[in-house]
Amino acid sequence: MSNYLIECSGVRKEFRSEAEILEILSGVDLALEKGVRASITGPSGCGKSTFLSILGGLDRPTSGRVIVGGVDITEADEDKLAVFRAREVGFVFQFHYLLNDFTALENVMLPAFMLTGDKAASVEKAYGLLEAVGLGGRMSHVPARLSGGERQRVAIARALVNEPGLILADEPTGNLDRASAVQVEDLLYGIAADSNTTLLVVTHDNGMAARADRRYELLNGRLKES
């Protein structure tokens, strides 16, 4: 059994139009052990978010192989990918994507309820996670009544509710003021360390990137360790 949670080899991604073929990823290789906290930096438009989407099963590479948590997601059909995303990956994006008409508690419990059908257990897990991210007194609030940093903490709790082996965070502090950004950064790294969960962060924040065990730069379609 492999000790690697992520194994990528020769990952290429092209976008085609009538006028041109645009190669975003030019043969990316990456191997990350379980429990590693890693960061990827690079200029805007270099393909960082595209690479994260491929790792999370939201997009497919043009060629290459991607294995995450023992699942070859380059070979998986859409049904298998849906189960993979629900069970194996927690997503945290720059925009929180919370459901506006649902409370913080409902937003966090919903992915667990959809996966298991057990409402009581899902609520209990969501309650515990919101307590853990410091929002015990804000569970009944809808997103509009939460600050930007609080909404992102709800998004982190939601990402963790199905106990994934991998957290993918795409510019998770990009829309936050510095104080809120530090809180979110501390939470992500702290929770990943405490639960031995693999964390991969895409960020423009060099300070956030520097806290990772492994630091990579995506440049000219290729990934290099820095």
According to the model, what pLDDT value does residue 103 have? 97
Q: How far is CA 55 from CA 17, 26, 51, 72, in A?
A: 24, 15, 6, 10
Would you write out the chain's pLDDT as a tens digit for each of its 226 residues? 568 899 999 999 998 877 788 889 999 999 999 999 999 999 988 899 999 999 999 999 999 999 998 889 898 999 999 989 988 999 998 777 899 999 999 999 999 999 899 999 999 999 999 998 888 999 999 999 999 889 988 999 999 999 899 999 999 888 888 888 888 899 899 989 988 899 999 999 999 999 999 999 999 999 999 8
- Please tell me the pTM assigned to this model: 0.90
d(CA 65, CA 10): 7
Lookup: tokens for 44: 């805007």
According to the model, what pLDDT value does residue 93 have? 86
Task: Assess contact for 154 and 108: CB atoms under 8 A.
Answer: yes
According to the model, what pLDDT value does residue 173 have? 87
Q: How far is CA 156 from CA 19, 41, 163, in A?
A: 40, 21, 12
According to the model, what pLDDT value does residue 1 have? 55
Helical ranges in 67-225 per DSSP H:
78-88, 104-116, 119-132, 148-160, 178-195, 206-210
Specify which residues 167 forms β-bridges with.
90, 199
Q: Over the range 45-78, which residues count as b (16 or more CB within 10 Å of their CB) and which as e?
A: ebbbbbbbbbbbbbeebeebebbbbebebbebee
d(CA 40, CA 165): 19
